[in-house]
Structure 1
């Protein structure tokens, strides 16, 4: 991707990247020796990390901070990839993917911002979220097993994404729903903090209500501080506030056309969210607007 690349993020995440070059890149990266201390040395091994901080961000959202082996260690997670947390819960081994909100620039710890889905709240999920409730009950000093890095997508910097293949993109669009924002948030921060990276990011972030918007303050601060690189748009199913200045309703053709750049050879659309949203809200409307399958990637 060139110096004037654009990234669009929305209620879901889409990204399309080539295969041969990325495969070559992944293999070569493993053969390079580095003096950097990373905690995730082998993606096939589970590493236990200790909970050292737990913040209540909202009534159902927590920030969990886990310590790395030393203050000099970074997690060792490329931008765009995720980790797996595993725990034995009520006799069953439960494994869930998460993306930290921190990056490898943060030493000695990593943070996870997670929405806790409690039992008895949603009729379709009477038991709630097994892993999120487990994490919420953890005490300072408890440990959780972590494995990674995992995932097909890597952000190489300067607008270059790789997924089985390398592809340069001047426009990246992301569509997110609910807690699918964390992979995008990490990517947006990475692009914004590097002045030499001229990639432009546009995000549509869909939620049920204002209260469900994860990392809203952080996202709006990024928009304010990096308005030349990052644009942000929310949509919610319903609003109870008269001063709501964004959209109300599901992601649709008009919303995508208005808040994401047009399709093109250097456009990548990243989608992260519930499969029904991607299948019925994102892909049909992207089809109508002329975005090819090669311009899309779903986490």
Structure 2
């Protein structure tokens, strides 16, 4: 049994994985049962989105749940490169405000790069008092309109989408396989975005 996971670090000397434990997840439960010193067989890496410095002027990231992992990896790569001037807008949906994965790390990046990074957090419900940067809401067209570049924006941009299959399907149309994107569909198609502007991770 094998499952694909995206390292959240961009370092040639070590990797960090974000793995949420699911009761029905054979691999995630196994990983969470491991102790320090245990062995885990890993193959790869398999590059899904080849990024080159300043290949676009702006990247919009639409993430849900553990779909934040590849976004965080790319985000840290861009922001840690002094010559990369790409701006980033993240809109990140979680079930509730107690389960916003990597929030401390994301907030630290926001603090360190306020002119290059913007973040909007959405939660389905609030389990505790909301902070000003988190709002209750769903990832619909109205929310996306507030953060995405207009379809006829003159500068080059890319919209990245990652999260549960149902979310990707609703926002950008189904991803056919790990190797095949499939045409843009869902909300982004309705908004007028095309296949060259959208990438499903």
Q: Which TM-score applies when normalising by structure 1?
A: 0.59
Asked whether 1:146 is paired with 2:34, we answer no
Indicate conservation of the 8 Å contact 1:250/1:281, yes or no. Answer: no
Once residues 280 and 206 of structure 1 are traced to their aligned partners in structure 2, the CA distance between those partners, rounded to angstroms, is 14
Higher relative contact order (Cα pairs below 8 Å, separated by 6+ residues) = 1
Residue number in structure 2 paired with 1:125: none
Once residues 243 and 212 of structure 1 are traced to their aligned partners in structure 2, the CA distance between those partners, rounded to angstroms, is 13
Residue number in structure 1 paired with 2:118: 231
Residue number in structure 2 paired with 1:296: 198
Q: How does 1:113-192 map to 2 (within 5 A)?
A: 113-117=18-22, 119=23, 128-157=24-53, 159-160=54-55, 169-192=56-79
Indicate conservation of the 8 Å contact 2:68/2:92, yes or no. Answer: yes
2:92 paired residue among 189, 198, 205: 205
Q: How many equivalent residue pairs?
A: 186
Asked whether 1:260 is paired with 2:162, we answer no
Residue number in structure 1 paired with 2:176: none
Deviation sequence 1:117-139 (CA, Å, 0-9, x none)? 1x2xxxxxxxx211111011112
Once residues 98 and 87 of structure 2 are traced to their aligned partners in structure 1, the CA distance between those partners, rounded to angstroms, is 27
Indicate conservation of the 8 Å contact 1:179/1:214, yes or no. Answer: yes
Residue 204 of structure 1, CA deviation: 0.5
Once residues 33 and 166 of structure 2 are traced to their aligned partners in structure 1, the CA distance between those partners, rounded to angstroms, is 30
When you count strand as a share of all residues, which structure comes out higher?
1
Indicate conservation of the 8 Å contact 2:140/2:187, yes or no. Answer: yes
Asked whether 1:110 is paired with 2:110, we answer no
Deviation sequence 1:79-115 (CA, Å, 0-9, x none)? xxxxxxxxxxxxxxx101111122225x2x3221221
Q: Which protein has the larger Cα radius of gyration, Structure 1 or Structure 2?
A: 1
Residue number in structure 2 paired with 1:163: none
C-alpha RMSD of the superposition: 1.6
Q: Which region of structure 1 is more displaced relative to structure 2, 260-269 or 213-222?
A: 260-269
Q: Which TM-score applies when normalising by structure 2?
A: 0.86
Structure 2 counterpart SS, 1:256: helix
Residue number in structure 1 paired with 2:159: 269
Q: How does 1:64-83 map to 2 (within 5 A)?
A: none
Residue 177 of structure 1, CA deviation: 0.7
Residue 141 of structure 1, CA deviation: 1.5
Q: In structure 2, list runs of 5 or more residues that go unmatched.
A: 173-184
Residue 249 of structure 1, CA deviation: 2.2
